[in-house]
Chain A
Amino acid sequence: MRYTRRQVIRLGTASAAFLILGEAQQRETLRVGLVDPLSGVYAALGRSELEGARMAVDDVNLKGGVLGRRLELLAEDSAAKTDVGVQKLRKLVERDRVQFTLGEVSSGVSLALSQAAAEYKLTHIVTGGHADDITGKSCRWNTFRIPTSGSMEANAIGKFLADRFGKAWYIITPDYAYGWSLQEAFTRVVERLGGRVLGADRVPLGTSDYSAVLLKAQRAKPDVLLTFQAGDDAVAILKQIVQFGLEKQMAVAGGLQEWENIAALPKEARIGWWTFEWYWLQPDVPEVKVFADRYRRRYRKVPTARSWFGYAAIWSLALAINKAKSLDSIKVAQALEGLELPRNVALQPHRVYYRKEDHQLTTGVFVGRVRQGQDPDDLFEVMRVVPGEEAAPLPAETGCRIVYP
């Protein structure tokens, strides 16, 4: 990384000042709060987001911070529980005086945090929740979302699957709001393409045995079997699909898949056609290699989509604050609208910016195949990166109306 002389001098003065002033300087930092599950079922994902965010904070500070102030990140564990998450956000705001908030993996908690941050009139970036509502019916002036929505995933991979494998689909979805919205989105896509859904099963979260629904799917003889399970459930269903040999009879596919899930699978179960939200190997984008190498040096593992969410969230804030030249939430929120992420933050081939109408980041959707690559950590072959602009539903269709206070 190169620095201009001016930056070096600024950095030098800043660190000298820091050494001399110590405590006083500490108080001058700009505090950002992150609420994410660091324990419980989503701990692996939450911790990846935290790691990415920490790295971004150091980068931002190396480059002179925001408005000349150092960034400081305070992280709290929500355990993926709403009440705990909201309580932690309050603590961050009322006690630790954070001025911006980030989080979290679970859609339900993300929605709650967005609401709680709005009560404090703080700008909030959703680092991990995928429910359409976050940038749809429940969108808010203060809330911006980095990850894709369920509809974006369906739009991105739907045509690919139909062209390649056929238009008779079978859906197994987790039985809660996010699972339903995926089911609806994929059904819409396949019907628009002239295909149909042969059957759909809703399975409770936390189910360990999927044999019943897998047998039903096998009997329906679809071209494509779609599963939308997340976390431990995703691992369980994939293991069982392979045990029954279903992957030899039909294409196994789905929406969002996480590197963290695939890594937990034995080699023979690393299969299927999915969308990733970001991937650490993108030969066409040199900035990604730089980022991934630094991340690997720092944490001794590869960055995942979750790491990138955390990284992009901090950078988005820093860029928006510098653009707004203000810490005022409304001004920063307005600066985020339409803000385009530079290549070394976007870390993907297409143009990435926050849509003004619904505050959704137009992040690309990485469509591809899970398989074991040369590098032991290379588990996914990216076949196409669908630009977010193309995958996202039209702003008019999201049901979002942004109203500033």
Chain B
Amino acid sequence: MELLLFQLMNGAVVGVFYGLMALGLALILSLTRVINLAHGGFLVLGAYLAYTLLPHLGFWGSLILGAALLALLAAGLERLVIRPLYRRDPLESLLLTFGLALVLEEAVRMIWGPVGVPFPIPQALGSPLFPGTPLFFLSKYRVFIILVGSGLVLLLFLFLSRTRLGLYIRAAAQDNETLSALGTNVWSLYTLSFALGVFLAGLAGVLAAGQLGLSPTMGNSLLMPSFVALIVGGVGSLGGAFLGGILVGMVSGLAGQFAAAASEFSVYLLLALVLLFRPRGLFGQEGFFE
């Protein structure tokens, strides 16, 4: 029983990383119709920015400010190189982010060196929650990741559903032409959503660095499951993307209990099952991608 609990918990932790990534991807995709292949690169860059800020701001400050700086950079990049492509062949934005991924990975290596760097987590979070009991595996940092991750997502949804700006974003995701005709500046909404999506990737990066370690290639193992999460959750649904991430994480965690090698495959099995019974993903909207 506690084994099951343990696996679900760990699945949820990884799931938060996937979920934050997938949510960022979905946010960008639903407005700008860009699949951001550089999302993994942004994740790593965000973590390294936080690492640089760490001695000055401490863990909390660098967690937020690292991701915020990254979002700022992303907004600049969006204006500079991605915006010219919105009305062109989707192939072009895809290749652009592919090139951007190469640039980001190598830039990180040039600035911070090819050797990984130590990313310490706060002393207070470094120990088990109930040491010495059978629940020793509930480490504080893991609980922290789940709380912070879901808390931020909750905030994001509050922002989207309760504020005027959030309303505009949701409207733009539905029908940007009408919105534009009504006199809204759709372009800045695009920039905002791109920056917001990358912000989430940056957060995932900082949280993951404490758990997995920080190196120029740490984004590699997180990117593809996030794409699966995006599809499982249903393209076009933001909540679906995050839940899809949690689900993907939990399924791979549970499968890992039986055979470590099964955890990657279980993710694809999940994908196949979901698409078999719900071709649009769990929360996908009809006609969204057809």
Direct touch of chains A and B (CB < 8 A): yes
Chain A residues proximal to chain B, CB less than 8 Å: 39-41, 43-44, 47, 175, 201-204, 206-209, 211-213, 215, 218, 231-232, 235-236, 239-240, 242-245, 260-261, 263-269
**Which one of B126, B210, B217 lies within 8 Å of A41 (CB-CB)?**
B217
Cα A44 to Cα B142 with chains together (Å):
29
Chain B residues whose CB sits within 8 angstroms of the CB of A245 once the complex forms: 127-128, 131, 136
- Indicate if the CB atoms of B137 and A44 lie closer than 8 Å: no
**Which one of A39, A244, A264 lies within 8 Å of B214 (CB-CB)?**
A264
- B168-218 residues with Cβ-Cβ distance < 8 A to A are 208, 210-218
What are 13 sample pairs from A and B whose C-beta atoms fall under 8 A apart?
A175-B260, A208-B211, A208-B222, A209-B10, A211-B253, A212-B7, A213-B260, A231-B215, A232-B215, A244-B136, A264-B117, A268-B120, A268-B126
- Indicate if the CB atoms of B118 and A175 lie closer than 8 Å: no
Cα A243 to Cα B128 with chains together (Å):
7
Cα A43 to Cα B212 with chains together (Å):
18
Cα A269 to Cα B215 with chains together (Å):
16
- B98-151 residues with Cβ-Cβ distance < 8 A to A are 105-106, 109, 113-121, 126-128, 131, 136-137, 139, 141-142
CB distance from A8 to the nearest CB of B (A): 38
B279 at the interface (CB under 8 A from A): no
- Indicate if the CB atoms of A266 and B212 lie closer than 8 Å: no
Which partner residue on chain B sits nearest A206 by CB separation? B221
Chain A residues whose CB sits within 8 angstroms of the CB of B158 once the complex forms: none
- Indicate if the CB atoms of A39 and B211 lie closer than 8 Å: no
Which of B113, B116, B120, B213 has the most chain A CB atoms closer than 10 A to its own CB?
B213
Chain B residues whose CB sits within 8 angstroms of the CB of A239 once the complex forms: 210-213
CB distance from B259 to the nearest CB of A (A): 9
Chain B residues whose CB sits within 8 angstroms of the CB of A40 once the complex forms: 217
CB distance from A80 to the nearest CB of B (A): 11
Chain B residues whose CB sits within 8 angstroms of the CB of A43 once the complex forms: 109, 114, 216-217
Which partner residue on chain B sits nearest A238 by CB separation? B213
- Indicate if the CB atoms of A204 and B13 lie closer than 8 Å: no
B268 at the interface (CB under 8 A from A): no
Which partner residue on chain A sits nearest B260 by CB separation? A203
Cα A239 to Cα B116 with chains together (Å):
13
Cα A260 to Cα B3 with chains together (Å):
34
Q: A208-B212, A211-B10 are in contact. List 13 more A-B contacts (CB 8 A).
A: A43-B109, A44-B114, A204-B261, A211-B137, A232-B213, A236-B211, A236-B213, A243-B126, A243-B141, A243-B142, A244-B139, A245-B136, A266-B118
CB distance from A159 to the nearest CB of B (A): 29
- Indicate if the CB atoms of A44 and B116 lie closer than 8 Å: yes
- Indicate if the CB atoms of B115 and A44 lie closer than 8 Å: yes
With contacts A204-B264, A215-B3 taken as known, whether A264 is within 8 angstroms of B116 at the C-beta atoms is yes
Chain A residues whose CB sits within 8 angstroms of the CB of B105 once the complex forms: 39
- Indicate if the CB atoms of B118 and A267 lie closer than 8 Å: yes
Chain A residues whose CB sits within 8 angstroms of the CB of B253 once the complex forms: 209, 211-212
Cα A366 to Cα B28 with chains together (Å):
51
Which partner residue on chain A sits nearest B256 by CB separation? A212
- Indicate if the CB atoms of B13 and A209 lie closer than 8 Å: yes
CB distance from A306 to the nearest CB of B (A): 11
CB distance from A259 to the nearest CB of B (A): 9
Chain A residues whose CB sits within 8 angstroms of the CB of B118 once the complex forms: 263-267, 269
With contacts A211-B137, A245-B136 taken as known, whether A265 is within 8 angstroms of B213 at the C-beta atoms is yes
Chain B residues whose CB sits within 8 angstroms of the CB of A41 once the complex forms: 217, 220
B97 at the interface (CB under 8 A from A): no
- Indicate if the CB atoms of A207 and B214 lie closer than 8 Å: no
- Indicate if the CB atoms of A232 and B217 lie closer than 8 Å: yes
**Which one of A215, A235, A266 lies within 8 Å of B6 (CB-CB)?**
A215
Chain B residues whose CB sits within 8 angstroms of the CB of A203 once the complex forms: 260-261
B257 at the interface (CB under 8 A from A): yes
Which partner residue on chain A sits nearest B6 by CB separation? A215
B14 at the interface (CB under 8 A from A): yes
Which of A175, A212, A261, A267 has the most chain B CB atoms closer than 10 A to its own CB?
A212
B263 at the interface (CB under 8 A from A): yes
Chain A residues whose CB sits within 8 angstroms of the CB of B260 once the complex forms: 175, 201-204, 207, 212-213
Which partner residue on chain B sits nearest A40 by CB separation? B217
- Indicate if the CB atoms of B120 and A208 lie closer than 8 Å: no
Cα A231 to Cα B115 with chains together (Å):
10
CB distance from A145 to the nearest CB of B (A): 24
Cα A266 to Cα B122 with chains together (Å):
11
With contacts A212-B256, A264-B213, A267-B118 taken as known, whether A207 is within 8 angstroms of B221 at the C-beta atoms is yes
- Indicate if the CB atoms of B137 and A244 lie closer than 8 Å: yes
Which partner residue on chain A sits nearest B105 by CB separation? A39
Chain B residues whose CB sits within 8 angstroms of the CB of A261 once the complex forms: 116
Chain A residues whose CB sits within 8 angstroms of the CB of B261 once the complex forms: 175, 202-204
CB distance from B96 to the nearest CB of A (A): 20
CB distance from A26 to the nearest CB of B (A): 29
Chain A residues whose CB sits within 8 angstroms of the CB of B121 once the complex forms: 266
Which partner residue on chain A sits nearest B118 by CB separation? A266
With contacts A203-B260, A204-B264, A268-B126 taken as known, whether A211 is within 8 angstroms of B6 at the C-beta atoms is yes
Chain A residues whose CB sits within 8 angstroms of the CB of B142 once the complex forms: 243
A-B pairs with lowest CB-CB distance, top 9: A264-B116, A235-B213, A266-B120, A44-B114, A211-B10, A266-B118, A212-B256, A203-B260, A44-B115
